[in-house]
Amino acid sequence: MAYINTGYARNKSLTVTRGSYSQTYDLCSGFTYGGTTYPSLSNDGFAQLSDADYERRRADFISYVYSLEAGLQTDCPDLTQGSVEYDTVLCPLQNVGGSSQEEE
């Protein structure tokens, strides 16, 4: 399946730290939330998610993590913040000829 690199990097891990407690959750790991089972994804599978599939998975993942971490939703009400960032180093833009759009 072909996909287009948009220059946006999707972060796939979330670390909850409280005092000496620290737990990292991975969006590519399989999980079940709200009656939907999300399978584990490879890096390529994650990169090839459509925007709609990514946003759906991310929203359910956040709800899933909230369900595991008491009080987190109060402490951090918007876990979508920082989940996507524009980064053409990690995600170089390409034109039709294959050369980078960011070239000098």
The token pair that represents 95 in the structure block: 């034109």
Residue 27 lies in a domain: yes
Give whole-number Cα distances, 65 to 4, 56, 71, 104, in Å.
29, 14, 11, 43
Domain for residue 95, yes or no? no
Q: What global pTM score does this model have? A: 0.69
Nearest to 11 by CA among 101, 100, 79: 79
Residue 102 lies in a domain: no
pLDDT at residue 28 in the model: 93
d(CA 49, CA 27): 12
- Identify whether 41 is part of a domain: yes
For 41-86, what is each residue's pLDDT tens digit?
998 898 888 889 988 998 899 899 989 988 876 666 555 555 555 5
Structure tokens at 65: 């993590």
Q: Which domain holds residue 13?
A: 8-86
**What is the per-residue pLDDT for 100?**
40
Domain count, the chain: 1
